[in-house]
Amino acid sequence: MTIRELLSARKPTLSYELFPPRTPAAESTLEATMRMLVDTDPDFISITYGAAGATRDTSRGVVQKLASSHTIPPLAHLTCVDQSRDEVIQVIEEYLEEGVLDFLALRGDPPAGQADWQPHPDGLRYAHELVTLLRQVAHAHGIDNLSIGVAAFPAQHVLPQWRDQGLQVLRSKQDAGADFAITQVFYDIGHYTSLVEDARAEGITIPIIPEVMPLVTAQRAHRAAQITGVATPAEIIADLEAAEDNATARAAGVAHAARLSCGLLDAGAPGIHVITFNKHEAAMDLVTELPLR
């Protein structure tokens, strides 16, 4: 079943995000993590897509392995970064041949060391163009049940200077054929409900799945804020810093993530997408606290 079909069943989904391993040791950690996560019966697992060619090949490998094992459907992240339109088409076609039907269409982050995002001279500029291209390529191959997700940004939405542009952009992704959205990380239920309410008022009807990140060290909390631009609440940092050992820190981080997730489900969220950092412990601790499985 595709994610679009799962979401139309209106039963909250459980899903995880993994990133492509960069070393052989990281590869075996990922294998072990995947085996553990599969036991929680997730609806799908998403695999991020990096800016460098080597990690892209690894992403494709992880997606293809999941697709061919027929255990958990993979959600393949795809970006517009540093690839011509023809190269993107080639990647899409390879995935379609493997039976991958779920894609997360993103513009992508700039490669490391590059401050601003620059489109490839023969490439795509915005995520909504990638949604259109995915639909076109699938159609050319006689596939009409593709399921396409896009990014949404609750923490940015509550900043008045971003609100209208963010809604317009999300609307353009829906108009291009997006079936659902997954949010960037955030820590305030009100940010999510405000985005969803305003989106509905603008005619944006696609389900918006919140992303939740259980933070297990203060260092990771600082790093997450740096990467996403979303400040980690001082209360979470304080609890992580006060923890005497790793187990206490993990319990504190999971408790914060569980409170947020339960509040989101109560507010009608169509599922919870858990960031794992390729480790199963915190993600699985979190899942045991949720009314999902």
Sole binder of ligand FAD in the list 96, 127, 221, 274 (CB under 6 A): 127
Does residue number 169 form part of the binding site for ligand FAD (CB under 6 A)?
Answer: yes
- For ligand FAD, the closer CB: 150 or 284: 150
Spell out the SS3 assignment of the chain: CCHHHHHHCCCCEEEEEECCCCCHHHHHHHHHHHHHHHCCCCCEEEECCCCCHHHHHHHHHHHHHHHHHCCCCEEEEECCCCCCHHHHHHHHHHHHHCCCCEEEECCCCCCCCCCCCCCCCCCCCCHHHHHHHHHHHHHHCCCCCCEEEEEECHHHHCCHHHHHHHHHHHHHHHHHCCCEEEECCCCCHHHHHHHHHHHHHCCCCCCEECEECCCCCHHHHHHHHHHHCCCCCHHHHHHHHHCCCHHHHHHHHHHHHHHHHHHHHHCCCCEEEEECCCCCHHHHHHHHCCCCC
Q: Which of 29, 55, 71, 172 binds ligand FAD (CB under 6 A)?
A: 172
**Comparison of 92 and 249: residue with beta carbon closer to ligand FAD:** 92
Which span sits near ligand FAD by CB under 6 A: 23-31, 165-173, 189-197, 238-246? 165-173
126 counts as binding ligand FAD under rule CB under 6 A: yes
Q: How far is the CB of 248 from ligand FAD (least distance, A)?
A: 29
Contact with ligand FAD (CB under 6 A) among 79, 174, 232, 278? 79
Q: Give Cα separations from 263 to 186, 213, 267, 269, 290 (angstroms).
A: 13, 14, 6, 9, 10
Instruction: Indicate the residue among 108 and 253 with the shorter CB distance to ligand FAD.
Output: 108
Q: How far apart are CA 153 and CA 49, in angstroms?
A: 18
48 binds ligand FAD (CB under 6 A): yes
94 catalytic per annotation: no
Of the pair 18, 101, the CB lying nearest ligand FAD is at 18
CB 172 → ligand FAD: shortest distance, Å? 6
For the bound state, the minimum distance from the C-beta of residue 127 to ligand FAD, rounded and expressed in Å, comes to 3
Q: Which of 184, 193, 194, 217 binds ligand FAD (CB under 6 A)?
A: 184
Q: Which residue number, 216 or 274, has a Cβ lying nearer to ligand FAD?
A: 274
Which of the ranges 83-91, 105-113, 219-227, 283-291 carries the binding residues for ligand FAD, by CB under 6 A? 105-113
Residues that bind ligand FAD (CB under 6 A): 48-49, 77, 79, 81, 106-109, 126-127, 151, 165, 169, 172, 182, 184, 211
